[in-house]
Chain A
Amino acid sequence: MLLAGHDCAGDLVPNQTHMRRFRSHFGTSPGVCAHLWKLIKPVLPRSFIFFHLLWGMMFMKVYGTEAVMASKIGVDEKTYRGHAWPVVKAIASMKTKVVSAKVCYNVLLLVSF
Chain B
Amino acid sequence: MFCFLFPFKYHIIIISLLAYWQIKLANRFIGDRGCACKLSVDGTDFRIPQPTRFWKGWFSFKFKGPGLRYEVALGIQSGYICWVNGPFAPGCWVDISIFRAKLKQFLRPGEKVEADAGYRGDGSTCPPDDCANMREYIMKQEVRSRHETVNRRLKQFNCMHQFRHNIDDHVYFFEAAAVVTQLGIESGERLYNVLYDKLSMQIFAQSEKEEEMKLCQMTQGGLRLR
Given A43-B11, A43-B12, A93-B15; A103-B20 close (CB under 8 Å): yes
The count of A-to-B residue pairs whose CB atoms sit within 8 angstroms is: 134
Interface 1/0s, chain A 8-40, versus B by CB < 8 A?
A: 000000000000000000011101100110000
Nearest chain-A residue to B164 (Cβ)? A63
A27 surroundings in chain B (CB, below 8 A): 156-157, 180
Q: Are A35 and B108 in contact (CB under 8 A)?
A: no
Q: Are B82 and A100 in contact (CB under 8 A)?
A: yes
A36 surroundings in chain B (CB, below 8 A): 179-180, 183
A interface residue count range (under 10 / 10 to 19 / 20 to 34 / 35 or more) = 35 or more
The answer, among B107, B162, B171, B187, for a CB contact under 8 Å with A32, is: B187
A interface majority secondary structure = helix
B83 surroundings in chain A (CB, below 8 A): 99-100
Nearest chain-A residue to B177 (Cβ)? A60
CA distance A29 to B172 in the complex (A): 21
Given A97-B24, A105-B107; A89-B180 close (CB under 8 Å): no
If A42-B15, A45-B3, A88-B173 are given as contacts, then 8 extra A-B residue pairs at C-beta distance below 8 Å, sorted by A number, are: A29-B184, A43-B11, A88-B176, A91-B175, A93-B16, A95-B178, A99-B83, A105-B105
10 residue pairs bridging A and B, Cβ less than 8 Å apart: A27-B180, A44-B11, A61-B159, A91-B176, A93-B16, A94-B19, A96-B19, A100-B81, A100-B82, A105-B108
